[in-house]
Amino acid sequence: MTQVLTDASIEHSATIVEFPGGDHRVDPKRVARLARRVVAGPDAEQSVSICPMTGQPLATLPVSTPEDVTVAMSAARAAQRGWAALPVQRRAAVLLRFHDLVLEHESELMDLIQLEAGKARRHAFEEIADCAIVARHYGRRASAYLSDTRHLGALPVLTQTVEAHHPKGVVGIISPWNYPLSLAITDALPALVAGNAVVLRPDQKCRVTALAGMELLVEAGLPQDVVQIVLGPGGTTGQAVVEQADYVCFTGSTPTGRRIAETAARRLIGYSLELGGKNTMYIADDAHLDRAVEGAVRGCFSSAGQLCISAERLVVHERIHDAFVGRFIQAVEAMRIGTELRWGIDMGSLVGQEQLELVSAHVEDARAKGATVLTGGRARPDLGPFCYEPTVLEGVTPQMRCRDEETFGPVVSIYPVASDDEAVAIANDTDYGLNASVWTRDGRRGRELARRIHSGTVNVNEAYAAAWGSVGAPMGGMKDSGVGRRHGREGILKYTESQNIAVQRITGFGGLPGMSDQRFAALLNTSLKVMKMVRLP
Ligand code: NAD
């Protein structure tokens, strides 16, 4: 396949090399430099990753054994003490410098994201923006989030109570392949600024991007050893991280999340899990149709649907069904699909063969059981070995796999409804609860509908970016979509141990000198009544 190097990628041609036949590989010199950051022995097994855009080898990197993970943990633990001792403002300054570096190096990072994940450049840019937004937020707000909080003491005035926060120690981060920069880095940022060290184990498919992101963090001033990177299969290297970290942040599927939670529960360590979804987008009868169509195309097909918060169920009010579906199909059919390192492509490739097989199986199962394929429904090997057309189904029933299982691909099913109640019922008829989207011109109706949907984020008149990018507010899944939240106060305090320091002044709870227990109890009884009367919290 011939690939075209654009001005943007030529500018950073040190990052990638074009091989005969047009295949791109990450420059072996760059890979060798990044490989030095991987904790692995000199004789480590090497593993080759495949570029989804070409199906050809992309980069060769070492595999870390569970023993290497132990080495990484010790180094991280040793470095963490000095890092935590720095004033929070010093740690926050690293994030703010990282913000600038990510934006400065966006082109080179987007090349890597595209080459490893196969996505279109516009979707790679979302990862750049996400890193910058999260770095800015925690760079500016960490100090306030982490500062001591005064609380009303047990005995007002006499008890002075302060809530303090201490870093957990070493946070293990297991990140997936679908957002290789964003999900490897943005969960590490609040952990780091809170004074933790991090042991990162990125997915095997997207290791170079994660390494490049971490290299930028070090360039921004992060002490080398505070972040350790280990590479290798989830069942061995990943599992070893979960077995040894003081806290685990995992992003991936629900079955793997359950296994990680079992290990964490046995070890009595905290964890957060950002898992799968079966997200609904509802187009109400008063929706602005042009905006809804644009939002639906983005919401269903960003990163070829390999986005945990993308929509796989499109619920459409029957009054506008025909008008909306007609325009939506037209917009989907106009999408430019491709595997090139340039702007102007609307959807890229799936990440690999396994994902292609899963997506094809869901569509074939639906077709065989009577669903109508309104558009798409075919692999496109002419565009890339793992490309699949954006696909819209109608007539999907509970017997079909794609009704309830997460497809994690460019496949959406349309469900017509006669009322808002019916739409909410479909949105809630799933074990997942990650993201939802509601389109209506009536802001109040949108907010009311949002509260009725059991989902960690609900976007009104947006597909996913409004909630995702509002990083001061928590984001994460209800039900089988996860435990815990990223972003905002919750997204940083989860990486800390909170401590209650209460100082008792003058007299305490043992009674007053010379006062009987009975009289002291009577005094407390009266005091408690007064406290409620004066509306103390
Ligand atoms: P997966 O659960 O199969 O794997 C996720 C990662 O965990 C992989 O890198 C894997 O190697 C590793 N892993 C496997 N077993 C492990 C173990 N025992 N210990 C530690 N690590 C282990 O998921 P996937 O198919 O790679 O990713 C797609 C899934 O991720 C989808 O379900 C998607 O919805 C979900 N996801 C969720 C979010 C979110 O924020 N909620 C974001 C992106 C992806």
402-434 pLDDT, tens digit per residue, is 999 999 999 999 999 999 999 999 999 999 999
Beta-carbon contacts of residue 42 (< 8 Å; ≥ 6 apart): none
Which of 253, 404, 408, 411 best tests ligand 1's pocket when mutated (most atoms within 8 Å of CB)? 253
420 is written with which tokens? 């808002």
Ligand 1: distance of its center to the CA of 417 in Å?
33
CA distance 478 to 499: 27
Give per-residue pLDDT as tens, 246-264: 999 999 999 999 999 999 9
Tell me if 277 CB under 6 Å of ligand 1: yes
Please spell the DSSP secondary structure of 187-228, one letter per residue: THHHHHHTT-EEEEEE-GGGHHHHHHHHHHHHHTT--GGGEE
Residue 321's Cβ-side half-sphere holds a number of Cα atoms within 13 Å equal to 12
Closest CA to 128 of 145, 109, 147: 109
pLDDT-based confidence at residue 22 (cuts at 50, 70, 90): low
Nearest in space to 246 (alpha carbons), one of 227, 271, 263: 271
Q: Does residue 379 sit in helix, strand or coil? A: strand
pLDDT at 3 over 70: no
pLDDT value at position 509?
83
Give residue 150 CA to ligand 1 midpoint distance, Å: 39
Q: pLDDT, tens digit, for every residue of 115-163?
A: 999 999 999 999 999 999 999 999 999 999 999 999 999 999 999 999 9
Residue 180 Cβ < 6 Å to ligand 1: no
For ligand 1, say whether the CB of 476 is within 6 Å of any of its atoms: no
Nearest CA to ligand 1 atom 15: 234
pLDDT digits (tens, 9 = 90+) for 112-123: 999 999 999 999
Task: Write down the pLDDT at residue 511.
Answer: 82
Please indicate whether residue 199, judged by its CB atom, sits closer than 6 Å to ligand 1.
no
DSSP state of 302: G
Q: Is 276 in the pocket of ligand 1 (CB under 6 A)?
A: yes
What's the pLDDT tens digit per position in 306-315?
A: 999 999 999 9
Instruction: From 63, 126, 174, give the residue whose CB has the most ligand 1 atoms within 8 Å, as the site to mutate.
Output: 174
Q: What is the percent of the chain where pLDDT is above 90? A: 92
Distance 276 CA to ligand 1 centre (A): 9
- Is the minimum distance from the CB of 412 to ligand 1 under 6 angstroms? no
Predicted pLDDT at 197: 99
Q: How far is the CA of 440 from the centre of ligand 1 (A)?
A: 34
Alpha carbons within 13 angstroms on the beta-carbon side of residue 378 total 9
pLDDT at 25: 73
239 Cα–ligand 1 center, Å? 12
CA distance 356 to 118: 12
3-class state of residue 486 by DSSP: strand
Residues acting as catalytic residues? 274, 308
Cβ neighbours of residue 436 closer than 8 Å, sequence gap 6 or more: 279, 280, 281, 282, 427, 450, 453, 455, 457, 458, 459
Name the pLDDT band for 21 (thresholds 50, 70, 90): low
Going by their DSSP bridges, the two strands 496-504 and 270-274 should be labelled as: unpaired
Kindly state if the Cβ of 295 falls inside 6 Å of ligand 1. no
Q: Whose CA is nearest to atom 35 of ligand 1?
A: 252
Give the number of the atom of ligand 1 that is nearest the alpha carbon of residue 177: 26
Q: What is the pTM of this model?
A: 0.95
From the CA of 461, how far away is ligand 1's center (Å)?
A: 29
